[in-house]
Structure 1
Amino acid sequence: MRIYTRGGDEGKTSVIGGRRKKHDQRIIAYGSIDEVNSFVAKARHSVAQKKISDRERTPRHSTRTFLWESCNVKEGPAYKVTARNAAQLEEWIDHWTSLSPKIERFILPGGSEASANLHVCRTETRRAEREVAALAEIETIHMPVLAYMNRLSDYFFTVARFVNHSLDVADIPYERSAIVFKD
Structure 2
Amino acid sequence: MKIYTKTGDKGQTGLYSGKRIPKFHARVEAYGTVDELNAFLGALRDQVKQENLKAELLEQQHHLFALGAALADDRPGEAYQLPADAATNLEVFMDRMDDDLPKMTHFILPGGSPVLSSCHVCRTVCRRAERRVVELADTTSVDQSVLIYLNRLSDYFFVLSRHLAQVNKIEEIKWIP
Q: Give the alignment's TM-score, normalised by structure 1.
A: 0.88
**In structure 2, what is the equivalent of residue 171 of structure 1?**
172
Contact 2:47-2:115 at 8 Å conserved across structures: yes
Give the number of equivalent residue pairs.
172
3-state DSSP of counterpart to 2:85: helix
Per-residue Cα deviation, 1:131-153 (whole angstroms, up to 9, x for no partner): 00000001111121000000000
Large movers: runs of 4+ above 3 Å: none
Identity %: 38
- The alignment yields a C-alpha RMSD, in angstroms, of 1.5
CA distance in 1, matches of 2:7, 2:80: 28
The match for 1:73 is: 74
Moved more, 56-65 or 164-173: 56-65
TM-score by length of 2: 0.90
Deviates more, 1:64-73 or 1:143-152: 64-73
- 1:8 matched to 2:8? The reply is yes
| Distance (Å, rounded) in 2 between the aligned partners of 1:97 and 1:67 | 29
CA distance 1:68–1:118, shift in 2 (3 Å): farther
Query: Could you say which residue in structure 2 is the equivalent of 1:104?
Result: 105
Shift of 1:155: 0.4
Question: What amino acid is the match of 2:157?
Answer: F
Post-superposition shift, 1:79?
Answer: 3.7
Q: Give CA-to-partner distance per residue, 1:114-173, whole Å, 9 cap, x none.
A: 111011000000001000000000111112100000000000111111111111001110
Corresponding residue of 1:54 = 51
Unaligned runs of 5+ in 1: 177-183
Q: Is the 8 A contact 1:70 1:145 kept in 2?
A: no
Q: Deviation at 1:71?
A: 4.4
Residue 138 of structure 1 aligns to a residue whose secondary structure is coil
